[in-house]
Structure 1
Amino acid sequence: MSLSAAASGLVLFHLSLTVVQSQNDYGVTYTSTQICAVKGSTVVIGCSFKYPSRVNVLKRVWFTNENNYNPEDLKTDPVYAGRVSYSSQWKRCTLTIRDLRESDSAVYKFRFETDQKHFTGLPGVTLTVTALQVHVDTSSYPDWATLTCQSSCRLHDRPSYIWYKNGQKISTQSGQYWYSDYLNPSDSYSCAVRGHEASTSPSVCVRGDSCNRVNYSNRSICAVKGSSVDISSTYNSYESLIQSTSWFRSGRGSEDLREDSQYAGRVELIETERGRSTLRIRDLTESDSAQYHFKFKTQSFEWKSSLPGTTLTVTDVQVRVSTGRQLDCVTRCNPYVSSYVWYKNGQQVNGASSSSYEAPRDTSYSYSCALKGFEDFHSPLVCEFPLRFYLNENLIWVIINVMFCQ
């Protein structure tokens, strides 16, 4: 794969046309003009820039908004919190976005500022994030269906596909984007690109909508340690009578979580409507991080899927000292929060809602942060203390020393 699409996740298509915008000795080079990637994967957008040797680069920013003169840095945008990173190599400006969402589809631009001027690389790179879908065609033969795995943007280099029938991988299929099978109204199918099975399509019926199938509301969830989480799925059985439903986690067979000692007193199965099951886990611990699956059983059929379920990541919240006096509220994953809450000496700081906070230069304080909506789950306190040194009987105040409170 070329530099323009060297992604640790799946890049489906890239137009390998180098785009260079330069002005005197300033310039930005994008090694792709358009990229198509699958929802849930990781994409790398290749980029390099140049500037005169006599100037110093003060700031690098990737952005998507239309304001080229006052752009919002993706790193400070809550929508991308914990999902983006920039290359730190000299004159490289590669952007990496993880856990892609369809809402990430946009035109991405790079801008850098020096001590003499600023420069934005136009027109940017168009990223399209697509979800796979199975299309069913029964027009050729009355008892056969031809299935195609479709996306909203063109695939590259003839990738190999994986097909699933009733949640189980079809071992005889040849890796094509299409698959044909005998029509059975009880069967459901889904597809994925090989190597990226976590981004499978929803399961669909080949005839009608009453086949055996399970689909998850979210493929990945991030939750804060100590909080509660709901993991939901919709399901349908071809037979009208379902004998049992349960949830289990990967790596532990198919044991019902309600019978697992690790979850004793902490799990609840909620089924307030037919065809929807919700697993609620309370008082989350980091050891609860796992992939969770739903199954149901009838008199003649049991859904035991090899499809990916919902991956739960449980994170704590920490305050990290960044550059200068900047404090960052960090987690191991992104719980899809829109803003943050900062506390100074236990009191909420008005107007502080971003993931970073600039500590003032004054007396000793303790700081903590929380995610909006999870205010009961603060990070551990971080304290700052002025260090005092005496020189010729004069008091000298030096850089603030930030440490975890005892």
Structure 2
Amino acid sequence: GQISGSEPVPLVLILGQNGWSVTYTSTQICALKGSTVDMRCSYSYPSTVHNITPTVQDRFWFVKNNEKPVHLKSHSHRFEYRFHENDCTLRITGLRERDSAEYKFRFKTNQDGGSFTGSPGVTLTVTDLQVKVRRSSTQTELQCHTSCHVTDPPSYVWYNKGQKLKEETSSLRVSVRDDDSSYSCAVKGHEDHRLYYMLVSPSAETVEGSSITLNCGFTANPAANYTWYKGNSQRYLSEGTVLGLESIQPSDSGEYYCTAENELGRTSESIFINVKYPPKLVSVSASSSNEIKEGRSVTLTCNSDANPAAEHFWYKDGDPNPLSNERQLSFSSVQSSDSGEYFCAAENNLGRRTSESIVIVVICEINKFFFFSFSLEKFYKFTNYFQYF
């Protein structure tokens, strides 16, 4: 998935002297954050130099960072050389805005002075989604778009409170009475990267490990400065209208505030991000020691961390049929038959995890009355025996 330049760009041939060349399919590429882009190129060189057949000893792509070339192969695992014979294509996955730069291909041969760089190179612009807002007295129109000018625009998918809507269009009209909702849009095929638009006191749900972008829903004239904060403590996050959150963790849950300020005043709005995740840290605890006297009470508790909260199931001695689907398993008067190995499972719609086992041993108390009665019986038999004589 790449969003490329606005016009079909012909092959761009960078010619050197005596048959040295690098050919780029396009020198201007605009792509969406999170997508994958291929910079296609090929190269050539003379078949003979001073009656010697040259061989390629090194070939690589680079960008300039503070005027120093950065060799891309060691720069990041997201950069992949797809070299084959004279094909010198570069693939970049998981695009980030900081990947925007001019990329050049260079190759070297075993000849003195036998190297060539394709310059100018390929200029890559990485852009994120944006939401434009138009308000009237009866409705709000949200428009999802990218700043890339494209001949074949992508399809956009809209969500309301995390639920996918049928419309696959860049625009969405929202009634003002729906202002307690949150909306998000994504490019079709890249639904795991969404841009959220905040209405009045909205909230948004996402899954651990995903990426989202928050868009500050203000329009201001004169232009405003935008600042992002998190939580009641107003912890500073960043500047700008857009806040990107990558590889979200449960600790990222919370209230996010966007503040817009110009010489006419200051205003802010917030969105609550609820990060969902499967059960973790599933364990069993007992209200008393593992050795329990018969007739006593004991409660086993299944502990887990999950969002949404997990359902719990209890199992004994490897039996696949659950004993209970409550978080606590209680015995008001434990019996010897309750001895055994217990474990619990925690489950929500994102996954399931089981605990380690706990062994319960029920100790039987000696029936003193039984032994006392038995002793009296033996005593009577003993005395009767001597009376017989």
TM-score, scaled to structure 2: 0.53
Which of residues 3, 13, 35 in structure 2 aligns to 1:11?
3
Structure 1 residues 123 and 177: alpha-carbon distance in aligned structure 2, compared to 1, 3 A threshold = same
Q: Secondary structure of 2:252's partner?
A: strand
> Alignment partner for residue 233 of structure 1, among 247, 253, 256?
253
Match of 2:14 among 21, 31, 46: 21
Moved more, 97-106 or 17-26: 17-26
Structure 2 spans left out of the alignment, 5+ residues = 48-52, 207-211, 213-243, 258-269, 285-301, 308-348, 351-389
Change (3 A) 1:246 1:160: closer
How many residue pairs get matched?
A: 232
- Counterpart residue number, 1:150: 145
- Contact 1:163–1:190, Cα closer than 8 Å, also in 2: yes
Q: Is contact 1:64-1:106 (8 Å) kept? A: yes
- 1:124 corresponds to which of 121, 124, 149: 121
Counterpart mapping for 1:50-65 below 5 A: 50-53=44-47, 54-65=53-64
Residue by residue, what CA displacement relative to the aligned partner does 1:68-125 show, whole Å, maximum 9, x if unpaired?
A: 9x73311122xxx211111221101100011111000001110111112110101111
Q: How does 1:208-219 map to 2 (within 5 A)?
A: 208=200, 210-214=201-205, 218-219=245-246
Partner of 2:33: 39
Report % sequence identity: 40
Larger RCO (alpha carbons 8 Å, 6+ apart): 1
SS at match of 2:61: strand
CA drift of 1:164 comes to: 0.9
* Residue of structure 2 in register with 1:163 after alignment: 158
Of 57, 73, 81, the match for 1:75: 73
Letter in 2 for 1:49: Y
**1:84/1:28 Cα in 2 relative to 1: closer, same or farther (>3 Å)?**
same
Change (3 A) 1:199 1:155: farther
- Sort the Cα spacing of 1:19 and 1:189 in 2 relative to 1 into closer, same or farther, 3 A: same
Question: Residue 199 and residue 22 in structure 1: after superposition, are their counterparts in 2 closer, same or farther (change >3 A)?
Answer: same
Instruction: Give the secondary structure class of the aligned counterpart of 1:65.
Output: strand
- CA distance 1:260–1:233, shift in 2 (3 Å): farther
Unaligned 5+ residue runs, structure 1?
A: 1-8, 222-228, 250-255, 270-305, 310-406
Which structure 2 residues correspond to residues 262-341 of structure 1 after superposition, within 5 A?
none
Q: Which amino acid aligns with 2:247?
A: S
Alignment of 1:103-122 (within 5 A): 103-116=98-111, 117-122=114-119
2:14 partner letter: Q
SS of alignment partner, residue 69 of structure 2: coil
Give the corresponding residue for 1:247: 276
Return the match for 1:96 from 66, 69, 91. Answer: 91
Q: Which amino acid aligns with 2:194?
A: T
Deviation at 1:246, TM superposition (A): 7.0
For the Cα contact (< 8 Å) 1:185–1:205, is it kept in 2? Answer: no
Alpha-carbon distance change, 22 to 265 in structure 1, aligned in 2, over 3 angstroms: farther
CA distance in 2, matches of 1:151, 1:246: 26
Q: Is the 8 A contact 2:104 2:117 kept in 1?
A: yes
Q: Write the deviation string for residues 202-222 of structure 1: whole angstroms up to 9, x where unpaired.
A: x1124x4x222347564337x
Q: Distance in 1 between matches of 2:154 and 2:283?
A: 40
Q: Which amino acid aligns with 1:64?
A: V
Structure 1 residues 98 and 137, CA gap change in structure 2 (3 angstroms): same
Number of the residue aligned with 2:132: 135
Partners of 1:246 and 1:33 lie apart in 2 by 40
Question: Structure 1 residue 198: deviation in Å?
Answer: 1.9
2:170 to 156, 166, 177: 177
Q: Tell me the C-alpha RMSD between the 2 structures.
A: 3.4
- 3-state SS of paired residue (1:220): coil
